């Protein structure tokens, strides 16, 4: 009776509040998109933004609206889209990896997938495809193949008989990730002239202009993220361990393979054009789980939206902190993310939310 | 009924089960006893399809459970695992609803009929008042009842339990086994339960099978299996068997001096 009284309202989100978390994160995303469009080397006042929207970006626009329209359509919108898509991919695949390996530390970076994908992308870039749609499509494809290869290598390195202990997985992932990163640096140093630009890419920066990169990663992201969004129930079952999931009727091996491939696809697409951006895939699912509970059917879409919003905010910071100079996005996420993560870790030590 | 025939399982070169044959009738509770490492858990895992068998079959009517798909099998056999670490953030309600998985699409959308079955299952194990609690905050006995409710929500004719009492105190051991026996006798399930405690097996099971080194050494009524010479040999320990003063079931006492 005492225990019962203590837990008077333990179910955090009764049915009628099911959509509330979604509304919150969508609002956050909407604000982040507005910030990302308005803020930059030229600040676009909200009133002008509103007038542009009302005019539908067309017709004879008076100055400075015409200039603003050019900036927004040519520069701000494609960048906003690329950053949002990258963040969505990192958030959702981070949640999927954490659920798959039942480990709060599993994220695309710790298990080496991002570094492997980066290596694949750099190899593809050093071949110097023409800057066309198909040339750009080849980069995420190379990143994806390298990411899958990485998963296979790391998985088989970590395997002991039929089991894959999480510690082994992360050790193998970190080791292989370092190897891939070293190889990436080697390739970039060897290629003459492009070193500076490539270094910027490696630290994460969505500074590639235009709509091409967005179109290049879109197919990969749509496929990868759609599969992940449908995997919530399977991931819920997997939280009880392979044996119970199997006994409850889940074809465990097939489900795990599909989720792994989909998450790697999304990660690879994100890495291919935005470079290596840490902590988003780690922190966003963590925060969402802490606030909204561990049901993966809810956690996956929330991490997707939250990842997009968080990375947009980081990108805005990257533009303004040292203005007019722009910081690589990866530096912002690490600077803001690492302390925040440590704080979360410390605060939540005794909360059984995981 | 569950009919296991000549079931053999190896881990690499090590033979864990050798030509095990057992049947469990509907409405019957069969206790599987044996020393540590005899293969009790392996038998449960093999019949539930989690580890592959090298030979033999486990049938329910025409269906061979060893070759059925995961979904098909989960509509016939449900398993109550040993209490392991459950994901603490899940509520009891969410956990029990997962028992409906074999009847759901891959999105796991439940209907109100599914919810009714899950609620009835919780009621059957007397755990309806736990419905909103998180599984991480439950005691061992409560967790075990929730896992039993989840198995019942699978609506299977066969129920397997892998040492369900091993982490429970005496009060909860007795409560759980009485409940499991009622599920066999009243609800008509074919129940196979791996048990450590010989005397609990003697009191609650209709029949007992003794597993030693992966082979069935004896099976029959408690009085037939729990004989001093059989148990002494299986457990490498001299024992005496006396009638339990409460219900005359055999009571095994170690005789080690």
Q: Is residue A107 part of a domain?
A: yes
Nearest CA to CA, how far is B51 from chain A (Å)?
Answer: 9
- For chain A, how many structural domains are there in total? 1
Contacts of A102 in chain B (CB under 8 A): 87
Q: Is residue A267 part of a domain?
A: yes
Query: Whole domain around residue A264: which residue ranges?
Result: 73-345
Q: Is residue B237 part of a domain?
A: yes
Q: Is residue B101 part of a domain?
A: no
Q: Is residue B249 part of a domain?
A: yes
A142: tokens are: 């190379």
Q: Per the CB < 8 Å rule, is A233 touching B48?
A: no
Give whole-number Cα distances, A151 to A137, A182, A188, A300, in Å.
21, 18, 23, 21
Instruction: Give per-residue burial for A211-230: e unless 16+ CB within 10 Å, then b.
Output: ebbbebbbebbeebbebbbb
Please indicate if any CB of chain B lies within 8 Å of the CB of A295: yes
Q: Is residue A5 part of a domain?
A: no
Question: ∠A83-A354-A240 over CA atoms, to 5°?
Answer: 110
Q: What is the CA radius of gyration of chain B?
A: 18
HSE of A26, CA atoms in CB hemisphere, 13 A: 6
Q: What is the pLDDT along chain A (354 residues), one digit of tens a residue?
A: 333 333 333 444 444 467 888 999 999 999 999 999 888 777 888 888 888 877 776 667 777 778 888 888 888 888 899 999 999 999 999 999 989 888 777 778 878 898 999 898 888 777 665 556 666 677 778 888 999 899 889 888 888 776 667 678 778 988 999 999 899 888 877 765 544 555 555 555 545 567 877 887 888 899 999 999 999 999 999 999 889 999 999 998 889 889 988 999 999 888 887 877 888 888 899 889 888 888 899 999 999 999 999 999 999 998 888 877 778 888 888 888 888 777 766 765 555 544
Q: Is residue B13 part of a domain?
A: yes
Question: ∠B234-B240-B241 over CA atoms, to 5°?
Answer: 95
Q: Is residue A51 part of a domain?
A: no
Q: Per the CB < 8 Å rule, is A249 touching B134?
A: no
Sorted by sequence, the CB contacts under 8 Å of residue A179 that are 6+ apart come out as none
Q: Is residue B92 part of a domain?
A: no
Return d(Cα B150, Cα A336) in angstroms, integer. Answer: 42
Q: Is residue B135 part of a domain?
A: no
- For chain B, how many structural domains are there in total? 1
B77: tokens are: 């056999």
Q: CB of A275 within 8 A of CB of A330?
A: yes
Q: Per the CB < 8 Å rule, is A234 touching B133?
A: no
Q: Per the CB < 8 Å rule, is A246 touching B154?
A: no
Q: Is residue A45 part of a domain?
A: no
- Name the residue with tokens 């695992």: B81
Q: Is residue B194 part of a domain?
A: no
CATH number reported for the structural domain that contains residue B216 in this entry = 3.40.50.300
pLDDT digit string, tens, across residues B223-255: 999 999 999 999 998 898 988 888 888 989 888
Q: For B212, list phi and psi in degrees, rounded to 5.
A: -135, 125
Q: Is residue B211 part of a domain?
A: yes
**Which residues on chain B place their C-beta less than 8 Å from a C-beta of chain A?**
45, 48-50, 69-71, 73-75, 77-79, 81, 84, 86-91, 93-94, 98-99, 101-102, 104, 106-108, 129, 132-134, 136-137, 150, 154
Q: Per the CB < 8 Å rule, is A294 touching B75?
A: no
Contacts of B90 in chain A (CB under 8 A): 236, 239, 294-295
Q: Is residue A46 part of a domain?
A: no
Nearest CA to CA, how far is B215 from chain A (Å)?
Answer: 24
ipTM: 0.91
- Name the residue with tokens 């059957």: B124
Q: Is residue A153 part of a domain?
A: yes
CATH number reported for the structural domain that contains residue A195 in this entry = 1.10.3470.10
Beta-ladder partners of B11: B14
Quick one: chain B helix, strand, coil %, rounded to 5?
A: 35, 30, 35
When mean pLDDT is compared over A147-151, B8-12, B114-118, the highest value belongs to: B114-118
Angular region, B91: left φ>0, alpha ψ -120 to 50, beta rest: beta
Across the interface, of A7, A242, A248, the residue whose CB is closest to B98 is A248
Contacts of A293 in chain B (CB under 8 A): 89
Angular region, A89: left φ>0, alpha ψ -120 to 50, beta rest: alpha
Return d(Cα A245, Cα B211) in angstroms, integer. Answer: 27
Q: Is residue A56 part of a domain?
A: no
Give whole-number Cα distances, A121 to A218, A333, A348, in Å.
16, 21, 37
Across the interface, of A9, A234, A352, the residue whose CB is closest to B136 is A352
Query: Whole domain around residue B60: which residue ranges?
Result: 1-69+200-257
């Amino acid at each position: 009776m005492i225990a019962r009284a203590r837990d008077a309202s333990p179910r955090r989100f009764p049915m009628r509040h099911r959509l509330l978390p979604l509304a919150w994160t969508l609002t956050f995303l909407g604000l982040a998109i507005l910030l990302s469009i308005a803020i930059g080397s030229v600040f676009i006042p909200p009133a002008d933004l509103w007038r542009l929207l009302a005019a539908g970006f067309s017709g004879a626009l008076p100055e400075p609206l015409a200039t603003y329209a050019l900036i927004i359509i040519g520069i701000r919108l494609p960048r906003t889209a690329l950053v949002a898509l990258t963040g969505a991919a990192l958030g959702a695949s981070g949640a999927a990896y954490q659920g798959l390996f039942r480990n709060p530390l599993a994220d695309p970076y710790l298990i080496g997938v991002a570094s492997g994908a980066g290596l694949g992308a750099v190899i593809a870039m050093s071949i110097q495809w023409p800057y066309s749609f198909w040339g750009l499509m080849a980069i995420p494809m190379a990143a994806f193949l390298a990411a899958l290869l990485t998963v296979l290598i790391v998985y088989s390195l970590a395997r002991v008989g039929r089991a894959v202990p999480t510690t082994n997985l992360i050790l193998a992932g970190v080791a292989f990730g370092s190897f891939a990163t070293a190889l990436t640096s080697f390739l970039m140093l060897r290629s003459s002239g492009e070193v500076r630009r490539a270094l910027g890419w490696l630290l994460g920066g969505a500074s590639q202009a235009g709509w091409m990169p967005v179109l290049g990663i879109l197919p990969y992201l749509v496929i990868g993220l759609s599969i992940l969004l449908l995997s919530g129930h399977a991931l819920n079952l997997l939280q009880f361990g392979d044996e119970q999931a199997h006994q409850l009727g889940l074809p465990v091996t097939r489900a795990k393979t599909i989720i792994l491939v989909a998450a790697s696809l999304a990660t690879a697409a994100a890495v291919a054009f935005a470079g290596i951006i840490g902590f988003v895939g780690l922190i966003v699912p963590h925060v969402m789980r802490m606030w909204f509970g561990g049901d993966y059917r809810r956690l996956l879409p929330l991490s997707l939206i939250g990842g997009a919003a968080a990375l947009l905010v980081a990108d805005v910071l990257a533009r303004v902190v040292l203005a007019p100079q722009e910081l690589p996005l990866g530096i912002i996420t690490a600077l803001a993310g690492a302390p925040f993560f440590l704080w979360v870790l410390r605060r939540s030590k005794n909360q059984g939310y995981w | 009924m569950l009919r296991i025939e000549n079931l053999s399982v190896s881990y690499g070169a090590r033979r864990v089960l050798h030509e095990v044959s057992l049947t469990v009738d509907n409405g019957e509770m069969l206790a599987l006893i044996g020393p540590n490492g005899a293969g009790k858990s392996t038998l449960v895992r093999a019949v539930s399809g989690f580890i592959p068998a090298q030979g033999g079959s486990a049938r329910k009517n025409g269906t061979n459970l060893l070759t059925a798909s995961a979904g098909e099998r989960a509509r016939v056999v449900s398993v109550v695992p040993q209490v392991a670490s459950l994901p603490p953030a899940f509520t009891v309600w969410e956990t029990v609803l997962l028992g409906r998985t074999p009847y759901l699409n891959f999105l796991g959308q439940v209907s109100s009929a599914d919810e009714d079955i899950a609620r009835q299952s919780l009621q059957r194990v007397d755990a309806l008042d736990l419905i909103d609690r998180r599984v991480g905050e439950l005691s061992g006995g409560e967790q075990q009842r929730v896992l039993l409710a989840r198995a019942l929500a699978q609506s299977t004719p066969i129920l397997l339990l892998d040492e369900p009492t091993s982490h429970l105190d005496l009060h909860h051991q007795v409560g759980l086994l009485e409940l499991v026996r009622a599920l066999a006798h009243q609800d008509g399930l074919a129940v196979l339960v791996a048990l450590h405690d010989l005397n609990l097996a003697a009191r609650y099971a209709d029949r007992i099978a003794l597993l030693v080194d992966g082979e069935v050494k004896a099976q029959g009524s408690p009085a037939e299996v729990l004989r001093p010479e059989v148990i002494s040999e299986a457990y490498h320990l001299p024992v005496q068997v006396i009638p339990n003063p409460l219900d005359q079931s055999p009571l095994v006492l170690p005789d080690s001096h």
